[in-house]
Amino acid sequence: MDSLGGIVRFFQEGGAFMYPILIVFALGLAIAVERWMYLTVSGASNRALWKKIVPFLKAGNFQEAAAVTNRSKAAIASILTYGLYRVKSARRRDDIEKAMEESLMEVLPRLEKRTHYLATLANIATLLGLLGTIIGLISAFTAVSNANPADKADLLSASISVAMNTTAFGLMCAIPLLLVHALLQTKTSQIVDSLEMASVKFLNAVTERQLKPAGA
């Protein structure tokens, strides 16, 4: 109970700027949870679909592979679908590769969506904390100037201590948001790398099964 009371007192003494900082943190937390869940599900669905597609690619059964990708909403499904449809008319590997790169460019925004907001919200939380401290210090110096000279030192130190609460709280909110932002960027990069690797493997399978015999 003492620790809870201390947290409540810390929040109350910080003043009005503690509330917008808390709102910014809550918004960032909601974005972080949504992005983490989306990326986790996306990565799992990509791996599951790739395992289904590999046997068809090895067998050269591109029509059945296209049927599987059409039924899936995974990010990799869109890329593979572009490639599989281009196989029918492509004469060169580059034609298929360009089609898959085009699809990858469409998928990337969905993977990176809203993640960059976390860094912005972290900066906003820090700046709100500093602004709250500055306004608190202005109020403290104004109050001290009208106080009894004997009490000025104690009043000033107490006022500065309270004014610093907003900066501390802003940093307490900003640091976790920056850490989560870095984690989400790493997770996104891993998914993008896996999509690019799957594209290369797909192109190799198509080249071996479809393009080489056609050019013979």
The pLDDT, as a whole number, for residue 31 is 96
How much is the mean pLDDT over the chain? 84
The string of pLDDT tens digits covering residues 106-124 is 888 888 889 999 999 999 9
**pLDDT mean over 79-99:** 79
The string of pLDDT tens digits covering residues 176-187 is 999 999 999 999
| φ, ψ of residue 149 in degrees (nearest 5) | -55, -35
Q: Which domain holds residue 150?
A: 2-215
Q: Name the residue with tokens 């090895």.
A: 58
179 or 100: which carries more pLDDT confidence? 179
Token readout for 87 is: 């196989």
The pLDDT, as a whole number, for residue 216 is 43
The pLDDT, as a whole number, for residue 215 is 44
Distance, first Cα to last Cα, the chain? 80
16 has pLDDT over 70: yes
The pLDDT, as a whole number, for residue 133 is 87
The pLDDT, as a whole number, for residue 151 is 65
Domains contained in the chain, number: 1
The string of pLDDT tens digits covering residues 142-170 is 767 776 776 666 667 767 777 788 899 99
DSSP secondary structure string for all residues of 103-164 = HHHHHHHHHHTTTHHHHHHHHHHHHHHHHHHHHHHHHHHHHHHTS-GGGHHHHHHHHHHHHH
In this prediction, residue 104 has a pLDDT band, given cuts at 50, 70 and 90, of confident
The pLDDT, as a whole number, for residue 152 is 66
Q: Tell me if the pTM is above 0.95.
A: no
The string of pLDDT tens digits covering residues 19-76 is 999 999 999 999 999 999 999 999 999 999 999 988 888 887 888 888 888 888 888 9
